[in-house]
Structure 1
């Protein structure tokens, strides 16, 4: 029983240091590639936005709503005119 416990502790310590050494070697490479990929995506998004903005410069589009409004719903921009008299 004691031998099994010592083997388990030995393997845990060995794997801990093995992963620690591999992590120091591999993790910076993985992070560098991830940062480069995000920078490339950001650069592509910026380029696409600039191209889209240049294409639409001076273009005016008017969209009309062809659907009829339901009679029971009043738009918040519209209101009813109420005639009132001042009471003294």
Structure 2
């Protein structure tokens, strides 16, 4: 049977403190690099989505024709915005005592 000793407890505490400071030091070095890469990747994804959305808009609703230095946009195929349904008028009721 093993018994816990004071020296074993001190070693464990020392290892925990050392691990904490080593982790903290390495995080200061590598965390900014990892965050920078994550931000760059998110920016690339955002740009890709914006380009895809722009491409989809041009192909579905509007046709663009390029004539030398002139751009002509055909908006005849655009859908007209629909009016919202009017359900009825609002009536304010008062209680009569």
Would you call these one fold, judging by a TM-score over 0.5? Answer: yes
Structure 1, gaps ≥5 residues long: 62-88
Large movers: runs of 4+ above 2 Å = 58-61
In 1, Cα distance between the equivalents of 2:21 and 2:78? 65
Q: Deviations over 1:16-49 (max 9, x none)?
A: 0000000000111111100100000000000011
How many residue pairs were aligned? 61
1:19 aligns with 2:23: yes
Query: Shift of the alpha carbon at 1:5?
Result: 0.7
Which ranges of structure 2 fall in alignment gaps of 5 or more residues? 63-75, 80-97
Structure of higher RCO (CA pairs closer than 8 Å, 6+ residues apart): 2
* Superposed CA RMSD: 1.5
- Structure in which a larger fraction of residues adopt strand: 2
Could you tell me how far 1:55 is from its partner in structure 2?
1.0
Report which of the two has the higher share of helix.
1
Give the TM-score, by structure 1 length: 0.64
Q: TM-score, normalised by structure 2?
A: 0.58
